[in-house]
Amino acid sequence: MALFIVLATLSTRGAESRSIDEQSMVSRHQDWIMQHDRVYSNDVERLERFNIFKENVAYIDSFNAAGNKTYKLAINKFADLTNDEFNKRNGFLLSNNRVRDSKVMNSSFMYENASFMPTEVDWRKKGAVTPVKRQGNCGCCWAFSAVAAIEGITQIKTGNLINLSEQELVDCDIYGPDKGCGGGLMSHAFEFAINNGGLTSESNYPYQGTDQDTCKQNLITNNVATITGYENVPPNSESALQQAVSYQPVSVAIDADGSEFRFYSGGVYTGESCSTNLNHGVTVVGYGVTEEDGTKYWLVKNSWGDNWGEEGYVRMARDVEAQEGTCGIAMNAAYPTIA
C-alpha cells in the first residue's frame, strides 16, 4: 500500500510538472505570435503550429544548454515551421547546371596574383553594403546575393551606394535557368545585368516577394548600375576566396538546410551538420578573427531580415580543414566586374 501511495504521488507530481511545462510553452507560443504578428486560420492550424513550435523550442533550449559550440541559437520568426517548409525558400539551383558551371569555373581569376590581403576586411565599414533585406517566402536568394555583390562593386568603383532591385531579376531574368521564386543562379543574374545594360533601383522597381509573371519593361531601361563582366573564384579554395573578398563583396552558395542555421543567433557558425549540397545564395562582405580566441571567420550577409542572426549576418568559420569550406562556402563563388 505504501509503495502504491509513493508511486501515485510521483505520478501526480510528474503530471503536474508536464502540465506546468506545457503551460509555459503555450505562453511562449502566445508571446511569439504577438511578437511576429502571426495569424492562424483556425484552431486546427494553431494546434499544428504549436506542436511544431514546441519541438523547435525544445531543440533550441537543448542546444544552448549543452554549451559546447561557438555559436548560439534563438527562437526567431521561423519557429513554427518544419525544416521542409522552411527550406523551400532556399533557391540556389547549382544541381541543375553542373555541366555548364564546371566550364565557367575555368574562367580567369583577376585576383590570382594579388599581393594585397589584409588580415581583416569589413565592406560595411567601407560603405559598400546596403542594409540587410528580407526575401520572405520567395526562393530568390540568388537575386539578393547577386544584387548585393553588384551594389558592392558599384560603390567601390563609383563611390555611390545604390539600393538595387531584386524584383527586376525575379520578373525579368526568366529566359534561362533562373526561375524567380523557384530558384536560380547568381552567375546568370550577372549575365542578365550585363546583357540588360545594368539594373534599376529598388525604389524604381520595388520588391514584392512573389513572381509577378510580367516583366515591367518600361522600368528596366532606367539603369542606375552597370557591370561589364563577372568571374568565378577557383573552387574549393578559401585562400582564393579571401583574395577576392579583399577587393570586393563576393556571391557564394552554401548549404543552409537544418535547424542550426535556421535558428542561428550569434557567434562563429561551425556548421558540423552541413553538407556540400549547395542550396542558398548569400554574400561574403568581409572576414576577420574573433578577439576572444582568434577564431577565423567569414562575414556573410543573408537575406532573411535584420532580426535573424547577428542583425542579418552570420559569421562562418574560415580556414577549416575541409577544402570546400564551412557549408561549402568556397565551392561556388563569383563576383561581378566593371571595366
Annotated catalytic residue, options 141, 172, 181, 327: 141
> Does the annotation count 280 as an active-site position?
yes
> Does the annotation count 327 as an active-site position?
no
According to DSSP, the residues that pair with 316 across neighbouring strands are 269, 298
Annotated catalytic residue, options 279, 280, 327, 332: 280
Asked if 187 and 101 touch (Cβ cutoff 8 Å), the reply is: yes
* pTM of the full structure: 0.90
pLDDT digits (tens, 9 = 90+) for 227-252: 999 999 999 999 999 999 999 999 99
pLDDT digits (tens, 9 = 90+) for 138-186: 999 999 999 999 999 999 999 999 999 999 999 999 888 889 999 999 9
Right CATH number for 83-337 from 3.90.70.10, 3.60.21.10, 3.40.50.2300, 3.40.190.10? Answer: 3.90.70.10
Domain range annotation of the chain = 2-69, 83-337
> Does the annotation count 141 as an active-site position?
yes
pLDDT digits (tens, 9 = 90+) for 8-57: 443 444 444 456 578 889 999 999 999 999 999 999 999 999 999 999 99
Question: What does pLDDT average to over the chain?
Answer: 90
Q: What is the DSSP string of 263-309?
A: TEEEEEE--TT--S---EEEEEEEEEE-TTT--EEEEEE-SB-TTST
- Cα–Cα dist 148/92, whole Å: 15
**The pLDDT of residue 159:** 97
- Cα–Cα dist 81/52, whole Å: 7
- Cα–Cα dist 12/78, whole Å: 35
**pLDDT > 70 fraction of the chain, expressed in percent and rounded:** 90
